[in-house]
Every structure is written in structure tokens, then in C-alpha cells.
């Protein structure tokens, strides 16, 4: 049924507001994302090979040279791993990085050999990331002035060379190791890290301006249709929001109150629940499996908060239509209101459970950063994702009541496929690929990046989260819309 009353809102003002909010968001995002908008950890980093043996005793006169090239756009660090023969050593060692094209010295550093630990790393760090070395032939030279018998030895990997050289692309210098001028088989245990430019950082303003222009154009189109008395999707949505705002508020209020009805602690459970869950998991998992996760309590709590929002909101949306059968068969209200309000009342819960999350983060010594302000993004997108899935489930539930039992099993599987209490790296590679396709993993990674690392995730994660949310919502809304007229016949 169409809303026939002309709602009394100013369309022009809403358009202007949209544009203003968009501009403000774009600028805010630019500052909040900061460094992560422009650079990401380079995909061309060279990882430390697994050490297999020592090279030579690096006494006075001994020189070890490793040639290599890398696909790192901005070089930050070069490290070398050492062996000490398990004895106290003395003297100074020097690491130098040369550009072989023009023979210039790029980085160098001298260390006190006595400070080097067995298997320890010495690292050269660039003050400012060095650019223009991508795919340039490079030479890493290590030498020392220690006396024989008191010298350390850089470690090497013999089998690692083949793997590294196999991955080489055309035009890159092969890895080759020389010891005291003699070519040797194997590769020095060294690592290179740096960062790459990202498209979003280079074209941020162009991109956002283009998007803004597209939004402006769309609004203009909608406005023209509106003045001509035609209804477009957006105008209809605005009318619906205006008309059903009060109803949504009341229903959310009811759901929320109904959840804690007749319990003594009431709303307090909203933040007691995730805390207690976290505690149990902490006790179990820090004793049973020894995962090396920094800030494990915060890691667990993030997982719990995100996953319990997902399972609660979808579980509630699932029964939203059949649970309100009494209303649906008697009063006309757009049916999407019911799953929508369930998602929203769960969101209130989630927001409350963020309080203990922040508290635990603070107690663990994590200082709040500006990345906390990015949290609304993953949470909003997560809500959209849940809304889409919830609508799909609610519609399916009307026709087949088996769905609720299936869903119970599915959430359990889903929980184990979400890295709530384990790191993804602990999984075998095949399973890792599956887990990384799990939408909840993406949202969870986003949240953890903001809270634990205190930085914005890579821009590509924003896109992934948004695309998954919108696609799910589109599918859910489509199925719901197609089937909603039949609901009343099956209730």
C-alpha cells in the first residue's frame, strides 16, 4: 500500500545535508585512515629463510655478500640473522646495502658483536623509507673486525635459495651468495621489509570527488522526479523512514526490554555476558592451546562481541516474522520493519558490550587511538550484512520451520570457522583459505585492527566489507520482497 499522505519534509534540505555529511566524512576518513590510506605492508617483502647452517666465521678480512632484488616500493628495514657459536664474541660488525647499478651506498650500520644473541637479528632501519629501489639489483655486504675465535657468523639457508629464485620475475637479479669472493650455494638469512603505495592514497581526492559527483547527480535526479510527483526508491525510503520512525523506535524499545525482562541485573547482562564468555575462553585456551597472541583477552573479547552480535541478531531476525504473526495478520505494517528492528535492538546490545571491551583494552595497556573512531564503519556494515541474512532467514522460516534447527547447527559451524579464539595462522593452509572467505572474519579483522593495532586496516578491507554487506543485503531484500505477500497465508 502506498503512503498517500504527502510527508512534510524538505527534500532540498535533505539533499544538502547528504552532500555536507559526505564531504565531512570524506575529510574525516582521510585523517583517520592516515598512513594506512597511502601505504600498505609491501607484498614484496622478503621473509627470513629458515636458518640451516652458519656461513663463515666473520673474523677480520672475511666478507659475505648477497645479491638480490625486491619488489618493495619504499624500503624500511633490512635484517640479518646471526649465530654466535654459543660463545662470547667481541669486535664490531658492519652491514652495508649497495645499489649495484651505480655502486652507491644506501644503508649501513655497525654493531657491537658482543651484543649479538644466538639466532638474533641485527637490523638496519632507514630514517625515511627509501624509494626507487624496486627491482633494482642490490648488494648486502656483511663484514667484521673481530679476532678469529671471537667472531660471530651470519646464518644461511641452503634449500631456501631455490625457492627464492623460482619466484623471480623477468628482469630481476637472482639471489646469489658469495663468501670471501667465492660463490656459494644457499642464501643468507636476511629479511627485507617495506611498504607499497596504494591506489587509494594516490587517487583519494579524485576518487572521492567522482563518487561525490555521482551521489550529487543521483540526488538531483531523485529531486527532479520528486518535484514531478514521481516516486523513486530513495524518496520512498525517506517517506517510510519518516512514517515508521516512531514505530521502529517503539519496537526496538520493546525487543530490548523483553530481552532482560524479569532479570535482576537487567541491562547489566549486556556487558557482563561478553566479559564472562571471554573469561571462560581465556582460562580454557590460554592453558589448553598455547597460541602466541598478544593482548589475548582483548583479542577474545573482540571476537566474542562481534560473533555474539551476529548470532543474536540473525537468530532474532529469523523468528521476527513468525514471532509477530499476531500483528502481521491483523494490522498492515511493512514487513521489513520486523527484521529491521531486531537487528537494531541487537545493535543497542552490541554498543553496550563495547564498554567492557574498551575497559579491558585500556587495562591491557592499549591506548585508544584515532582508529577507534573508525569502528562505526565495520559495525554498520556488519549490521547491514546481518540485516540481509536476517531477511533471507526470516522469509525462509515462514515457509519451512526447519530453518531454525538448521540455523542452530550452522551458527556452531560458523563459530568454529571464525577466528574468535585462535589466530588464522594456526590453521592448515586449505582451511585458512576457507576462513578468509568468511565475511565475519573480515569484519572481525577490521575491528581488531582498530582496537588492538590501533591503526586503520588496509583500504581493500573496507571495500571487501562493504561489497559483502551490500550484496547480502540486496539478496536478502530481494527474496524478502518477492515472498512477503505470501507470508500471511503461511503464518
Partner 1 sequence: MRKETKKELRERQVRDAERQRKKVIEVRDVSMRFRLTDDKIMSLKEFVTRKLSGKLKTNEFWALKHASFDVYKGEVMGIIGHNGAGKSTILKVISGILKPTEGTVTSHGNIVPMLELGSGFDMDLTGHENIFLNGAILGYSEEFLQSKYDEIVAFSELGQFIEVPIRNYSSGMLARLAFSIATVVNPEILIVDEILSVGDADFQEKSRKRMMELMSGGTTVLFVSHSLQQIREMCDRVVWLEHGEVQKVGATDEICDQYECT
Which residue, 8 or 287, has its beta carbon nearer to partner 1? 8
Minimum Å distance from CB 404 to partner 1? Answer: 11
Residue 250 engages partner 1 in binding (rule: CB under 8 A): yes
Instruction: From 309, 278, 338, select the one nearest 411 (Cα to Cα).
Output: 309
Residue 481 engages partner 1 in binding (rule: CB under 8 A): no
Q: Angle at Cα 8 formed by Cα 3 and Cα 14, nearest 5°? A: 105
Q: What contacts 297, CB < 8 A, 6 or more positions away?
A: 278, 282, 360, 364
Minimum Å distance from CB 242 to partner 1? Answer: 10
Minimum Å distance from CB 410 to partner 1? Answer: 14
Q: What is the DSSP code (8-state) at residue 451?
A: I
Residue 258 engages partner 1 in binding (rule: CB under 8 A): yes
Figure out which of the listed residues 13, 169, 290, 330 binds partner 1, where binding follows CB under 8 A: 330
Candidates 128-136, 214-222, 246-254, 452-460: pick the segment binding partner 1 (CB under 8 A).
246-254
Instruction: From 140, 144, 142, select the one nearest 114 (Cα to Cα).
Output: 144
Cell reading at 103 = 655502486
Crossing angle of helices 439-448 and 296-318, rounded to 10° = 140
Residue 292 engages partner 1 in binding (rule: CB under 8 A): no
Neighbours of 438 (CB within 10 A): 16
Residue 257 engages partner 1 in binding (rule: CB under 8 A): yes
Which residue, 4 or 182, has its beta carbon nearer to partner 1? 4
Minimum Å distance from CB 232 to partner 1? Answer: 20
Residue 482 engages partner 1 in binding (rule: CB under 8 A): no
**CA dihedral for 44, 47, 53, 56, sign (positive or negative):** positive
Residue 326 engages partner 1 in binding (rule: CB under 8 A): yes
Figure out which of the listed residues 262, 287, 288, 365 binds partner 1, where binding follows CB under 8 A: 262
Residue 485 engages partner 1 in binding (rule: CB under 8 A): yes
Figure out which of the listed residues 116, 156, 184, 251 binds partner 1, where binding follows CB under 8 A: 251
Partners of 92 in beta bridges: 112
Figure out which of the listed residues 4, 8, 104, 182 binds partner 1, where binding follows CB under 8 A: 4
Minimum Å distance from CB 236 to partner 1? Answer: 16
Minimum Å distance from CB 308 to partner 1? Answer: 23
Residue 247 engages partner 1 in binding (rule: CB under 8 A): yes
Residue 5 engages partner 1 in binding (rule: CB under 8 A): yes
Instruction: From 77, 70, 79, 59, select the one nearest 179 (Cα to Cα).
Output: 59
Could you tell me how many residues make up the chain? 491
Residue 8 engages partner 1 in binding (rule: CB under 8 A): no
Give buried/exposed letters for 374-407 (b at 16+ CB in 10 A, else e): bbebbbebbbbbbbbbbbbbbbbbbeeeebeeeb
The answer to whether the beta carbons of residues 136 and 37 sit under 8 Å apart is no
Quote the CA–CA distance of 357 and 270 in Å, as a whole number: 12
The answer to whether the beta carbons of residues 164 and 175 sit under 8 Å apart is yes
**219-226 long-range Cβ contacts below 8 angstroms, 24+ apart:** 219/15, 219/18, 219/19, 220/15, 222/15, 223/11, 223/12, 223/15, 226/11
Minimum Å distance from CB 393 to partner 1? Answer: 14
Minimum Å distance from CB 405 to partner 1? Answer: 10
| Residue at grid coordinates 660463545 | 87
Residue 203 engages partner 1 in binding (rule: CB under 8 A): no
Figure out which of the listed residues 112, 402, 425, 436 binds partner 1, where binding follows CB under 8 A: 402
Candidates 125-133, 247-255, 307-315, 435-443: pick the segment binding partner 1 (CB under 8 A).
247-255
Figure out which of the listed residues 236, 263, 329, 412 binds partner 1, where binding follows CB under 8 A: 329
Figure out which of the listed residues 159, 253, 412, 425 binds partner 1, where binding follows CB under 8 A: 253
Candidates 96-104, 118-126, 127-135, 250-258: pick the segment binding partner 1 (CB under 8 A).
250-258
**400-405 long-range Cβ contacts below 8 angstroms, 24+ apart:** 401/322, 403/318, 404/318, 404/319
Q: How many residues bind partner 1 (CB under 8 A)?
A: 29
Determine which helix (DSSP H) or strand (DSSP E) holds 335, and give its type and residue range: none
Which residue, 16 or 247, has its beta carbon nearer to partner 1? 247
Would you tell me which residues interact with partner 1 (CB under 8 A)?
Answer: 1, 4-5, 246-247, 249-251, 253-254, 257-258, 261-262, 326-333, 400-402, 485, 488-490
Amino acid at each position: 500500500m502506498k503512503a498517500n499522505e504527502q510527508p512534510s519534509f524538505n527534500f532540498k534540505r535533505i539533499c544538502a545535508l547528504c552532500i555536507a555529511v559526505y564531504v565531512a566524512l570524506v575529510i574525516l576518513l582521510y585523517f583517520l585512515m592516515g598512513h594506512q590510506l597511502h601505504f600498505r605492508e609491501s607484498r614484496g617483502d622478503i621473509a627470513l629463510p629458515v636458518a640451516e647452517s652458519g656461513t663463515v666465521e666473520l673474523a677480520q678480512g672475511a666478507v659475505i655478500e648477497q645479491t638480490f632484488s625486491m619488489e618493495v616500493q619504499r624500503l624500511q628495514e633490512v635484517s640479518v640473522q646471526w649465530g654466535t657459536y654459543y660463545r662470547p664474541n667481541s669486535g664490531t660488525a658492519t652491514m652495508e646495502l649497495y645499489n649495484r647499478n651505480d655502486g652507491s651506498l644506501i644503508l649501513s650500520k655497525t654493531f657491537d658483536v658482543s651484543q649479538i644473541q644466538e639466532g638474533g637479528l641485527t637490523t638496519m632501519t632507514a630514517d625515511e623509507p627509501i624509494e626507487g629501489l624496486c627491482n633494482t639489483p642490490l648488494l648486502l655486504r656483511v663484514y667484521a673486525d673481530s679476532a678469529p675465535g671471537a667472531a660471530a657468523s651470519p646464518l644461511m639457508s641452503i634449500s631456501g635459495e631455490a625457492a627464492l629464485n623460482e619466484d623471480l620475475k623477468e628482469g630481476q637479479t637472482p639471489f646469489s651468495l658469495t663468501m670471501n669472493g667465492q660463490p656459494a650455494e644457499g642464501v643468507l638469512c636476511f629479511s627485507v621489509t617495506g611498504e607499497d603505495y596504494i591506489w587509494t592514497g594516490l587517487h583519494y581526492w579524485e576518487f572521492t570527488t567522482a563518487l561525490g559527483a555521482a551521489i550529487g547527480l543521483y540526488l538531483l535526479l531523485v529531486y527532479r522526479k520528486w518535484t514531478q510527483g514521481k516516486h523513486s526508491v530513495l524518496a520512498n525510503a525517506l517517506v517510510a523512514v519518516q512514517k515508521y520512525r516512531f514505530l521502529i523506535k517503539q519496537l526496538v524499545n520493546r525487543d530490548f526490554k523483553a530481552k532482560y525482562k524479569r532479570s535482576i541485573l537487567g541491562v547489566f547482562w549486556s556487558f557482563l555476558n561478553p566479559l564472562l564468555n571471554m573469561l571462560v575462553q581465556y582460562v580454557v585456551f590460554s592453558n589448553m592451546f598455547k597460541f602466541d597472541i598478544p593482548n589475548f583477552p582483548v583479542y577474545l573479547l573482540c571476537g566474542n562481541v562481534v560473533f555474539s552480535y551476529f548470532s543474536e541478531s540473525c537468530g532474532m531476525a529469523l523468528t521476527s516474522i513468525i514471532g509477530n504473526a499476531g500483528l502481521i495478520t491483523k494490522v498492515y505494517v511493512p514487513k521489513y520493519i520486523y527484521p529491521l528492528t531486531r537487528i537494531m535492538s541487537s545493535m543497542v546490545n552490541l554498543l553496550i558490550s563495547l564498554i567492557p571491551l574498551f575497559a579491558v583494552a585500556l587495562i591491557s595497556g592499549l591506548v585508544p587511538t584515532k582508529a577507534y573512531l573508525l569502528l562505526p564503519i565495520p559495525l554498520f556494515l556488519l549490521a547491514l550484512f546481518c540485516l540481509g541474512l536476517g531477511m533471507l532467514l526470516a522469509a525462509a522460516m515462514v515457509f519451512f520451520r526447519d530453518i531454525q534447527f538448521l540455523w542452530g547447527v550452522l551458527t556452531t559451524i560458523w563459530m568454529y570457522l571464525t577466528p574468535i579464539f585462535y589466530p588464522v595462522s594456526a590453521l592448515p593452509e586449505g582451511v585458512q583459505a576457507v576462513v578468509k572467505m568468511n565475511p565475519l572474519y573480515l569484519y572481525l579483522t577490521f575491528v581488531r585492527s582498530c582496537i588492538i593495532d590501533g591503526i586503520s586496516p588496509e583500504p581493500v578491507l573496507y571495500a571487501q566489507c562493504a561489497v559483502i554487506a551490500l550484496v547480502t543485503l540486496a539478496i536478502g531484500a530481494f527474496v524478502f520482497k518477492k515472498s512477503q505477500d505470501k507470508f500471511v497465508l503461511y503464518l
